[in-house]
Chain A
């Protein structure tokens, strides 16, 4: 598959590392542009452009780590911080705006109320994304 632009949706969990690494590997072949985004979900009790120091700090750490992982693979990635009401729609919107060919997301193996759960974001992106979507689920430790 021809890839020119790849979007990696980071969420601060360990699975981000695999996603960024995979993105770099896939991008190398066609020298595709890779952009790693982190979405801050802003509660409705705050205006959308509210500045939440703790969240911004966390986002910057995550994105900085992504840049380091990419650097280890000898690849340069762009990073972006987005503030939105809901993560899923924000990722899909971003993918559309940037006309990406692929969205990559890391999946943390987690259980909710005793049952395996993909959460809210992944099912949304799988259903609504206009482009290809690749998930990498981390191994069960």
Chain B
């Protein structure tokens, strides 16, 4: 699979590493070059300095041939905007984004975007852990 990841934070970098090890073609985008330090030295994919909400930048990252796009920057709104561009402008088959705010995530899910809210997921995990003790 050809995957474009927007955001090389902890999650983005980990995801990039996992997919790269699995043998996929990964391109990671970030607006800060310093973020790329999180990628392992053996990372075989491409790291590109740029803004994933910019269509030109996405094209450079290979969005036109991408099978999947993941938006995991720190900004909910940037993630949502980039995901929608990937889906509606470039018709990327699989698009997933992180939206911290649970209520906003509901709005976007209703709009057909696949979104994960770490807030909800983690709160539930913690609850399960506490109840299991």
Do A and B have CB atoms closer than 8 angstroms in the complex?
Answer: no
